[in-house]
Amino acid sequence: MNKNKIIPAPDGRPCIVPSVLSADFSCLKKSLRGLERQAGWVQLDVMDGHFVPNLSFGPHVASGLAAATPLALDAHLMVERPGMFIQPFARAGVSLITVHQEAEDDIGACLKKIRSLGLKAGLALRPKTPLSRALKYLGRVDLLLLMTVEPGFGGQSFMPGILSKISEARRAIAGLGRPVWLQVDGGINEDTAPLAARAGADSLVMGKAVFSNPDPSGFVRKLNARLKGKQLL
Ligand code: DX5
């Protein structure tokens, strides 16, 4: 883990997390420039071609990304065997690793291993997976990710049916008595971000909305102002 790249603690305000899945990798450093003043951290969507029908990045790309931005990195493991990748991504310099509840490995053991390496631990649910499958892990995570699209590709449309699941998760986190990020990922843009934040999400992963904009950091700055202005949480 890269000691000087810390995932901030939740502070009740929504924070935007750009996902580099939609970034222009021919000029990654340029695409990320300025985001360090606007975004909470950056997400790397890791796909294995089995858990999702797509292939994306490995630990080597994560270490390259770590060198391209001062922001902390979150590795979202959309893989069948997340246990295999925890150590390699920790070595690559990520600060938070999220595993899917639906993956094959022992999720409790994965969360324990992530934290044993000094990283923050996240648990993700596909849209169809009920929140009840996550409740027994809530005491062992720093972040709960509710997918608002079927995982595998950027640029999909937001699933509004997840809004009630977000609110239910926010109530479950409130009952914990300690801060846990409630992250949403998929189809989050200037229109859906306020809806998700109002439902209780405070970590908003955005890929296409950020990196299809000619001025990614300017886009995030304006959306931040809009979200803070409404004090949605
Ligand atoms: C899906 C990915 C995407 C990505 C964000 O597996 O997790 O949701 O991060 O994509 P956009 O913001 O382009 O929908």
- 52-78 pLDDT, tens digit per residue, is 999 999 999 999 999 999 999 999 999
Q: Angle at which helices 192-199 and 163-174 pack, to 10 degrees?
A: 40
pLDDT of residue 228: 84
Identify the active-site residue in 105, 185, 202, 215. Answer: 185
- The first and second tokens of residue 207, run together, are 């890929």
Angle at 21 between CA 16 and CA 27, to 5 degrees: 95
Closest ligand 1 atom to residue 158 Cα is 14
Q: Where are the domains of the chain?
A: 15-228
Q: What is the H or E stretch that residue 194 is in?
A: helix 192-199
Could you give the CA distance from residue 204 to residue 196 in angstroms, rounded to a whole number?
8
Q: Bridge partners of 206?
A: 18
pLDDT of residue 232: 52
Q: Ligand 1 mean position to 185 CA, how many Å? A: 6
Residue 185: active-site member: yes
pLDDT of residue 5: 82
Closest ligand 1 atom to residue 188 Cα is 12
Residue 74: active-site member: no
Q: What's the CATH number for 15-228?
A: 3.20.20.70
pLDDT of residue 229: 67
Extended beta strands in 80-156, E state: 96-100, 120-125, 143-147
Nearest CA to ligand 1 atom 3: 154
Average pLDDT over residues 153-180: 97
